[in-house]
Amino acid sequence: MSTSPKPLHLNAFLMSTGHHEASWRLPESDPYSTTSIAHYAKLAQTAERGRLDSIFFADSPSLWGTIGRRPSGSLEPTVVLAAIAALTTRIGLIATASTTYNEPYNLARRFASIDHISGGRVGWNIVTTATLDAARNFNRDELPSHAARYARAEEFLQVAKKLWDSWDDKAVLADKEAGLWGDDRLLYPAAHAGEHFQVAGALNVPRTPQGHPLLVQAGSSEDGRAFAANHAEAIFTAWQTIEEAQAFYADVKRRAKDAGRDPDGVLVLPGIVPVLGSTEAEARLLEEELDRLIVPEYALGNLAKQLKLDPSELDLDKELPAVLPTEDEIEGAKSRFTLIVDLARRERLTVRQLIGRLGGGRGHRTFTGTPEQVADAILDWADNGAADGFNIMPAVLPSGLEAFVDQVVPILQAKGRFRTEYEATTLRGHYGLARPENPRRAEAVASAVKGVLAHSR
Amino acid sequence: MSTSPKPLHLNAFLMSTGHHEASWRLPESDPYSTTSIAHYAKLAQTAERGRLDSIFFADSPSLWGTIGRRPSGSLEPTVVLAAIAALTTRIGLIATASTTYNEPYNLARRFASIDHISGGRVGWNIVTTATLDAARNFNRDELPSHAARYARAEEFLQVAKKLWDSWDDKAVLADKEAGLWGDDRLLYPAAHAGEHFQVAGALNVPRTPQGHPLLVQAGSSEDGRAFAANHAEAIFTAWQTIEEAQAFYADVKRRAKDAGRDPDGVLVLPGIVPVLGSTEAEARLLEEELDRLIVPEYALGNLAKQLKLDPSELDLDKELPAVLPTEDEIEGAKSRFTLIVDLARRERLTVRQLIGRLGGGRGHRTFTGTPEQVADAILDWADNGAADGFNIMPAVLPSGLEAFVDQVVPILQAKGRFRTEYEATTLRGHYGLARPENPRRAEAVASAVKGVLAHSR
Ligand SMILES: Cc1cc2nc3c(=O)[nH]c(=O)nc-3n(C[C@H](O)[C@H](O)[C@H](O)COP(=O)(O)O)c2cc1C
Ligand SMILES: Cc1cc2nc3c(=O)[nH]c(=O)nc-3n(C[C@H](O)[C@H](O)[C@H](O)COP(=O)(O)O)c2cc1C
């Protein structure tokens, strides 16, 4: 270790029985956990016991493919977070929500409400939602274009920020004597009129403990990175190799700087799927068991969809077709498309092998080994400009998270690389980020001063 | 008591420091309770201790008038319910949400999710949202017309029901051996294409403990009653006199019957604002104290808005102007408008007196007295065809709910008129309503049988 390294941040990405698509078939797994709040609350408490920064739920407002393959359907994550907030005290709570299929007033309010409920622990993973299935649940026949989705997302964030800043931190007077609860002059209505949104009002929720929820982003295309540079405070991302991750890390830090922001205020958290065993052989055994339980026919249909191919164009025992669409032709998830194609080409994988590699983390890096090896893998990327922390995606839940918390975290703590107690009470605090000032207050003060000056002339 | 009377249903309508607009100024009140989940959780636990059927939150996606007058802004109620679900075990949980400013896929999903989280305790108070302020937060310059709002609400409910029924109760197989989690043939996609909505998908949440959330309705205009007759299982309503309440009760039961439904499956719950004291004099003292604390200037602006007048047209010490708009001209809350005008005319109230009368419950009946008197008032309406139960709206919170639970409920229990223990685990169970069958299953079975018959010919 050189000079004191930057603190490491760890997020637990929770998903029913785990990230491996066959995890639900293990004897230990509860296949009904998709709808069990007890399951998710216990996972959150485990993560909190490990002093992790946060837990996280992915989301899309649609049913994803066939329900034959793996546990399907998922509770809407903002209400899940609210329930978990009541059952935990410190851990950060991050939910995914789509800017394409929500209204800014409703969504900004829901996150503000959870920030109050949790005492400042909420984060929003901002996504534009890449599937046609979702579009078809919201009055559309076609997926809005990638560019149109990001344009709407940009304006959505502008509106949301105005709404979160629409109450001065001092707007509530609570003056019982005078009978004056709040000061209307300390409300700053959004008064937004743009291309996508027209939103008059102040939010109907006072400014929250964190000011704004922690803003997280998870798209890695050109547009996604540009958006992240403007708004993201943490970035979830998927990379198979340290070289790719380093390039991405350098790129988004530079973009943040170019956007006039402090690069340390934009944390990069690649995903890692740890498959843990007390010996390497034991870990391999678990991995093989999981891969053996994959039903490749299901996965093939899904892979074809991601690659914009017909399933008949894929042969389980051959490599991908020589001619594939380019990223430009993908209107869905661009960066994930490229990751998958690069992985298959680089390692000359058959479709069956590719499905195995994607079965663990859908494109995220799977790492199989002992707790020491996992800790080393984490520190290797963190110390070499590839990550500020990790999005931990246990292959099997709850056991994989318990193993991580009980076996990997103590190693990181013993090395002085991870907190042993929470030092902050808010999610922003855990991530080392400040509570945003309210720019509207500064404007209001400036215009009041101008008024006084004009008067005194 | 004649033959065993119908069971009584009691819902606690929760609102910051209480329903009386000046309640927040009492020494006991926490004026910051609008954003305090601890406050609401404690109220829910008190209601649960009293074995009440449910708690309820009103809502509108806008800031209501000035923030000077009373605690303003409110946490979004679906996330509040999710948090409270985690901290209670039996009480029903009802949130208001607007059909005008939500998308059916998102809202149906959120209620389905809370139904899972709470083990079958959620209800939805369906409203169309009557204020221009709300419209202006959702890309509009004008309030959509009353008729247009109810037309959208009607289709919204059709879609929501299709989504709640889009998974067969047996769709999840969880067959680990075969590697088959769910049966795609037991999904019934909504496939809805109507005037307002086009929604393809199955919901991404399995069918819930209650099948559908309890459906509650709270509009009493012509359109509101027609809607209630089609969909409502409980109706919140505001009446000042038993005669009005009886007429309404008879009317909606008849309408439900005409719509082919069992009138006992539509419970009518008028609001009552109990102001309790251990003697009548003590109760009156509390009422006078509260009314003295009203700042009438605030209330006047709000009253003018409800009556579609300019504030300058109202004089605190005179009666309402002779010429007023008619209910037809009101595009906002029609039935509340008529209630207020009728009350003022009938009792020849000055504007100041009217404001006093509305200060307690915004049009709901205020009843000031001892626990015995409140219990008698409740039974009087319940036994005379005016109510199946009550929406309890304590003037002051938490003390008013504690007084109701500790002093009024035991009287009703001693008379054998209210449960002493929960007999059911779901909200539908508390209200004596069945879990809806899935009509899509019957259709699917019928068409499968037809297929087999066709084959065997
Ligand atoms: C860790 C991680 C989690 C993600 N979670 C979601 C999600 O929950 N919902 C979603 O629509 N997209 C999710 N994505 C995908 C991206 O947010 C994005 O929608 C997709 O990659 C398209 O963006 P791009 O074209 O900029 O890459 C996730 C991506 C990553 C790396
Ligand atoms: C107890 C009660 C609670 C209500 N809560 C709400 C509410 O939370 N939000 C809302 O928009 N309207 C609420 N209303 C008003 C009605 O739902 C309805 O929106 C309004 O009266 C207009 O309907 P109408 O014109 O059919 O009367 C409530 C009414 C009652 C009686």
Q: What is the tens place of the pLDDT at every residue in A312-361?
A: 999 999 999 999 999 888 887 888 899 899 999 999 999 988 988 888 77
CB atoms under 10 Å from CB of A279, counted, come to 10
Q: Which residue of B has its CA nearest to A159?
A: B137
CB atoms under 10 Å from CB of B416, counted, come to 10
Q: How far apart are CA A217 and CA A283, in angstroms?
A: 31
Closest C-alpha among B373, B5, B295, B150 to residue A178: B295
pLDDT at B455: 65
pTM, whole model, 2 decimals? Answer: 0.95
**Min Cα–Cα distance to chain A from B241, Å:** 31
Rg of chain A taking only CA atoms, in angstroms:
23
Q: Which residue of B has its CA nearest to A30?
A: B174
Q: How far apart are CA A51 and CA A89, in angstroms?
A: 11
Question: Quick check: B124 and B216 in contact, CB under 8 A?
Answer: yes
Nearest by CB to residue B103, choosing from A71, A101, A201, is A101
The superfamily in CATH containing domain B9-289+361-456 is: Luciferase-like domain (3.20.20.30)
Contact A204 B72 (CB under 8 A): yes
Nearest by CB to residue B181, choosing from A67, A84, A138, is A67
pLDDT at B1: 43
**Residue pairs between chains A and B whose CB atoms are closer than 8 Å:** 234
Annotated binding-site residue numbers of A for FMN: 59, 96, 146, 150, 220-221
pLDDT over 50 at A5, yes or no: yes
pLDDT over 70 at A3, yes or no: no
Burial class (CB in 10 A: 0-12, 13-18, 19+), A456: exposed
Rg of chain B taking only CA atoms, in angstroms:
23
Ligand 2 atom at minimum distance from B238 CA: 31
pLDDT digits (tens, 9 = 90+) for A405-454: 999 999 999 999 999 999 999 999 999 999 999 999 888 888 877 777 77
Question: Quick check: B39 and B30 in contact, CB under 8 A?
Answer: yes
Shortest-distance ligand to the CA of residue B216:
2
What's the one-letter identity of residue B34?
A: T
pLDDT over 80 at A185, yes or no: yes
Q: Whose CA is nearest to atom 30 of ligand 2?
A: B218
**Min Cα–Cα distance to chain A from B396, Å:** 15
pLDDT at A353: 87
Q: State which residues of chain B have pLDDT below 70.
A: 1-3, 455-457
The label of the residue with tokens 């009552």 reads B272
Across A4-18, A122-136, A210-224, A359-373, least confident range: A359-373
- Is residue B238 within 6 Å of ligand 2 at its C-beta? yes
Closest C-alpha among A201, A184, A401, A61 to residue B298: A184
Q: Which residues of A touch B27 (CB under 8 A)?
A: 176
Contact B82 A87 (CB under 8 A): no
List, chain by chain if needed, residues with CB within 6 Å of any ligand 1 atom.
A 58-60, 96, 127-130, 218-221, 223-224, 236-238, 271, 333-336, 391
Read off the tokens for A277: 């065993």
pLDDT at B446: 81
What percentage of chain A carries pLDDT values higher than 70?
Answer: 98
Question: How far, CA to CA in Å, does A328 sit from each of A222, A325, A441, B105?
Answer: 11, 8, 43, 30
User: Candidates A127, A154, A215: which one to mutate for ligand 1, based on the most atoms within 8 Å of Cβ?
Assistant: A127
Using DSSP's 3-state secondary structure scheme, residue A129 falls into: coil
**Min Cα–Cα distance to chain B from A434, Å:** 22
pLDDT over 60 at A457, yes or no: no
Read off the tokens for A107: 């969504």
pLDDT at B456: 61
pLDDT over 50 at A48, yes or no: yes
Q: Whose CA is nearest to atom 31 of ligand 2?
A: B237
Q: Is the bond leading into B371 cis (omega within 30 degrees of zero)?
A: no
Contact B181 A86 (CB under 8 A): no
Where residue A1 falls among pLDDT bands split at 50, 70, 90?
very low
Q: How far apart are CA B324 and CA B315, in angstroms?
A: 14
CA of A219 to the centre of ligand 1 (A): 5
Q: How far apart are CA A117 and CA A115, in angstroms?
A: 6
Q: What is the DSSP letter of A327?
A: G
DSSP codes joined into one string, B211-248: BSPEEEE---SHHHHHHHHHH-SEEEE--SSHHHHHHH
Q: What DSSP element (H or E) covers A199?
A: strand A198-199
Give residue limits of the domains in chain A: 9-289+361-456
Q: Whose CA is nearest to atom 29 of ligand 1?
A: A218
Rounded to the nearest 10 degrees, the angle between the axes of helix A334-347 and helix A296-306 is 120
Read off the tokens for A61: 């407002």
**Min Cα–Cα distance to chain A from B45, Å:** 14
